[in-house]
Structure 1
Amino acid sequence: MKTKPPKLFLLDVEGTIAPISLVYDQLFPYARAHFQAFLQLHGGEPGVVSDLTMLAEENVGETDESVPRFTTPEYWDDAIPYLNWLMDRDRKSTALKSLQGRIWQRGFETDELTGTLFPDVPKALERWSATSQVAIYSSGSVAAQLLMFRHSNYGDLSPLISGYFDTRTGPKTSPASYEFIAATMSLEPGEIMFFSDVVRELDPAREAGCHTRLVMREGNIPVEDAHGHRRIKSFNVL
């Protein structure tokens, strides 16, 4: 880099370090296909009950009349239509993401799923982590993020990652989320560079004081107005 390297490289996942197809063609269909069997086996476990309780609370707040209703966590089978409804809308639901992560765990551990990353990612992680820190900020749960890096198509890359953040941090469209990440990593926002393929995520990061890069990958939705964020097509330039 021509300028002083950031102390933290903060990375989005979908469309930034991994193809969008990983989520929509592999992970989402796998979760959808295994919801019923997973809940039948694990619906009474404390962690899953906690997720279902959170899901029911979210359902109460829905104003759309078409939403499938799910208000009693004990009847887990009633949750499936609502889970599918949320997935159809790509809703960033913390409860949904947690349940997906639990289901994906088996898929990764049995090699039915692989964390497919872009070819320039492994070398970039090695290069950056040698002098700075690397963290992930994704709507997917921290558990799912860990699985993806431990079972990537380039082997276990998790030792190169210093931190993981998900929807529990706050929405990626809020400057406060990036301020929280900075504080958690004992840094100032100005010491962070955030990479994403979504301008509406980069804007609040910049507002919080972070440096930003708009990642342009093959298969991403074209961006006409970058709002002044520097565009990059590869991590090889950094």
Structure 2
Amino acid sequence: MPVKAVLTDIEGTTSAVSFVFDVLFPYAQAHLPAFVREHSKEPAVAAQLDAVRSESGESGADDERVIGILLEWIKADRKARSLKALQGMVWAEGYRAGQLKGHVYPDAVSALRRWHEQGYGLYVYSSGSIQAQKLIFGCAEAGDLTPLFSGYFDTGSGHKRESESYIRIADSIGLDAEQILFLSDVVEELDAAQQAGMQTCGLVRDGGTLGRHQVVQSFDAIDPASY
């Protein structure tokens, strides 16, 4: 079956790892305390703060202790959904204020636009929240790229290194797994997608290999029609 959709990772694939670790995480770390203090009574924020208390086992923690827990989680790169949701809220303020611009490699921008014009369905699967995904692409240096995408997936679909996650995503997209091309810079993710039946291509922008998967150094070298 020919490929009809492309599912792409973000960090290290469409976007520089450094953007996440050197820009987004420090921004959240710097601005999250004030954000929590200012918005803790708002229902959406309060719900996430309660989730932090529950997940940390500190049900009686006050807001200042919750802030401390969140900063510890950021430092440890913990994949907590409550943290990701709150980070997304902080980043949203930064994007709206023009303090943040999403990084997307120029070759990824041109390829995504080309594939969209050619009729491929484009989807994102990242460990970052769907809100964070939309912000990166919606407030990108190249402009608003969200009209190119048909859907977004995060860890709500499962762990990125488990094949069942990719089966769920294929079912959600409504295609056979083999009709989907998955792009990533992580061999374990590529392995899981391949085990689920998807086509795979690895991004190695600085060279190297990703197991037995085909690898390229740029989106310019990817042709979904060749799979």
Q: Same fold (TM over 0.5)?
A: yes
Aligned to 2:42: 45
Structure with the higher helix share, 1 or 2: 2
Q: Distance in 1 between matches of 2:176 and 2:129?
A: 24
| Alpha-carbon offset, residue 5 of structure 1 | 5.2
Is 2:81 the partner of 1:94? yes
% identical aligned pairs: 40
Aligned to 2:225: none
- Return 5+ residue gaps in structure 2 as ranges: 223-227
Q: Distance in 2 between matches of 1:174 and 1:56?
A: 28
Q: Which 4+ stretches in 1 moved above 6 angstroms?
A: none
Deviations 1:74-116 (A, max 9, x none): x222112221222222122111111100000010111100001
Aligned to 1:145: 133
Aligned to 2:55: 58
Alignment of 1:107-118 (within 5 A): 107-118=94-105
Is 2:197 the partner of 1:234? no
Q: How many residues were matched structurally? A: 221
Aligned to 1:21: 18
Q: Distance in 2 between matches of 1:217 and 1:55?
A: 36
**Contact between 1:35 and 1:103, CA under 8 Å: does it hold in 2?**
yes
| Alpha-carbon offset, residue 203 of structure 1 | 1.0
Aligned to 1:182: 170
Alignment of 1:4-15 (within 5 A): 6-15=3-12
Q: Normalising by structure 2, what TM-score? A: 0.92
Q: Distance in 1 between matches of 2:92 and 2:122?
A: 23
Q: Normalising by structure 1, what TM-score? A: 0.88
Give SS of 1:120's match: helix
| Alpha-carbon offset, residue 57 of structure 1 | 2.5
- Return 5+ residue gaps in structure 1 as ranges: 61-69
Q: Distance in 1 between matches of 2:126 and 2:69?
A: 22
RMSD: 1.6
